[in-house]
Amino acid sequence: MTHTAIAQSMEQELLDREFDALVMRYYQQVYNLAYRLTGNAADAEDLTQEAFLRAYRFFDRYDPTMPFMNWISRILTNLYIDEYRRRKRLPTLSIEERFENEEGEEGEQLDIPDPGPSPLDIAESNQYKEAVQEGLMSLAPEFRTAVVLADVMGHSYEEIAEIMNTSIGTVRSRIHRGRKQLRDIIQRKYPELFERGDLK
């Protein structure tokens, strides 16, 4: 192995270590963002893992002047919106529907075992928290992303514009429309929560 190759290998080793440290440090925050976007633990874990793997693949393009959390949030939100659109295009089969096989016989309902509430679900079983998450899930993905980045993750409009690769005017509009829709949903479905105005 030549000197150049050894130097490249050592440099790669350092980058790998640096990236591993970033994974350890930001995993929980990234997972939290993924969970608030997807609304369930399984999808959130998948999305988090994919975001980190993609970030690793393009780590040589990472500009350290941008906070890592913002950079990976951009990767994650792009992945999420792409995946959301892809799933929307795929035909879905409702598990409530009965189906007929080729001979015309009517089959049973799809036998999908109910995994039951996970420890995370139990911990999250507070009705009001679920109500807010449910409200978030009914927003369009772009509005949901903007609202989550602003109100859950606490980013500024400028940061959100950078993460979502759009203008500040668009961010302002998305947050405003997203909040208004969320307000309508919560007020209609959970008026007592809205009157209370507090999750605790």
Partner 1 sequence: MNCRYVQSRLSAYLDMELTGHEHQLIRSHIENCIECSTEFERLRRTKHLLRQLPVVQPSQGPEAVLVRLRAQRATVSQNAVIRVGWRSVRWWQMAVGAAAIGVFLWWNSTVAETPSDVTFASSTPKPLLFRSSSEPSLFRMRSPLPSEMLNPVPFNQPVFSTPILPTNYYPAHNSVPSFEGLYHTFYFQSR
Report the alpha-carbon distance of residue 164 to residue 175 in Å, rounded: 12
The answer to whether residue 62 forms part of the interface with partner 1 (CB under 8 A) is: no
The answer to whether residue 156 forms part of the interface with partner 1 (CB under 8 A) is: yes
Among 81, 83, 84, 124, binds partner 1 (CB under 8 A): 124
The answer to whether residue 19 forms part of the interface with partner 1 (CB under 8 A) is: yes
Question: How many other CB atoms sit within 10 Å of the CB of residue 174?
Answer: 23
C-alpha dist (Å) from residue 189 to 127, 145, 193? 12, 22, 9
Minimum CB separation of residue 93 from partner 1 in Å reads: 28
The answer to whether residue 80 forms part of the interface with partner 1 (CB under 8 A) is: no
The 3-state secondary structure of 116-162 reads CCCHHHHHCCCHHHHHHHHHHHCCCHHHHHHHHHHHHCCCCHHHHHH
Among 37, 47, 52, 162, binds partner 1 (CB under 8 A): 52
Residues 6+ apart with CB under 8 A from 118: 41
Q: Which residues bind partner 1 (CB under 8 A)?
A: 1-2, 5, 16, 19-20, 23-24, 27-29, 31-32, 35-36, 41, 44-45, 48-49, 52-53, 56, 118-120, 123-124, 128-129, 132-133, 136, 147-148, 150-152, 156-157, 172, 175-176, 179-180, 182-183, 186-187, 193-194, 197-200
